[in-house]
Amino acid sequence: MQVLHRTRSRNRNAFDPSNIPAGTRATVTSTVASNKWRLVFSNPVMVKTLPTDFTVNGAPATAYTQDSPTQVTLTYAVNVATGQTWVVPSGSASIRTPTGGYVAAATGTF
């Protein structure tokens, strides 16, 4: 006896999650501005919470201001000056791009 197999076709009107584009990563350029760390990003970003994982000489940030969609200024309890090291962590949830991307990891010295 033959058994008919029912084929399933997908609903063409339903939402297809495979069509969602991947989030874009933002790269950062760092400068010192009046004892504060100024971050300029390659893409617009949104600050979700205080980015305490963005460190200068191991010290976390104490306050932030978002000056423009691509610029954030971080304030620290210690003076930020040339010769100090800074770290931008990988996959930080504190600063994200509007499309859901993260800030690319980076390290350096002012």
pLDDT one-digit tens code per residue, 82-93: 888 999 998 888
Kindly give the confidence (pLDDT) of every residue in the chain, 110 residues in length, as a single tens digit, with 9 standing for 90 and above.
Answer: 677 777 777 777 877 777 777 778 888 888 888 789 999 999 999 999 999 999 998 899 999 999 999 999 999 988 888 888 999 998 888 999 988 889 999 999 88
Strand 71-76 with 61-68, pairing:
antiparallel
Domains recognised in the chain with CATH numbers: 24-109 (2.60.40.1220)
Per-residue tokens: 7: 């084929």
Decide if 29 contacts 39 (C-beta within 8 A).
yes
Give this prediction's pTM.
0.75
Enumerate residues 6+ apart whose C-beta is below 8 A from 77.
59, 62
For residue 58, the cross-strand partners are: none
